Structure 1
Amino acid sequence: MILIAILLPALSFLLRGKILHAIVCFVLQITIIGWLPAALWAVFSLHNAREERRTARIVRAMRNSR
């Protein structure tokens, strides 16, 4: 998924269901200069989503252990 985020940043957002982000990212991506920020944004967004899922899993585990 990281490779998709680097090569096709807008597709990365679409696959995760963030349509508005995908449109903004595509507009940014169509310029040569904007492609790099779009790719970085997609990678950071992917990383943050994974981190949020991991945190939610830890919180659920802590609540269940009580």
Structure 2
Amino acid sequence: MILIAILLPPLSFLLRGKILHAIVCFILQITLIGWLPAAIWACVSLLDGRNKARIKELKK
């Protein structure tokens, strides 16, 4: 999933159900300069979601 987040950041958001984030990420990725921030944003968001799920599971 991290590989998808690096290569195709909008697809990473779409697969997780975040449609608005995917649209914004696609607009950012249209420019070549914006591709790197979009990829970083997708990776950070993916890891943040995983960490939130772990914390939620630990609180149970």
TM-score by length of 1: 0.90
1:12 is the counterpart of 2:20: no
Match of 1:56 in 2: 56
Distance 1:10 1:29 in 2: 8
Name the Cα RMSD after superposition.
0.3
Tell me how far 1:14 sits from its aligned partner: 0.2
TM-score by length of 2: 0.99
Q: Structure 2 unaligned segments of length 5 or more: list them.
A: none
| Count of residues paired in the alignment | 60
Q: Structure 1 unaligned segments of length 5 or more: list them.
A: 61-66
Match of 1:63 in 2: none
Letter in 1 for 2:8: L
Tell me how far 1:33 sits from its aligned partner: 0.2
Distance 2:13 2:31 in 1: 18
* Amino-acid identity (%): 70
Match of 1:31 in 2: 31
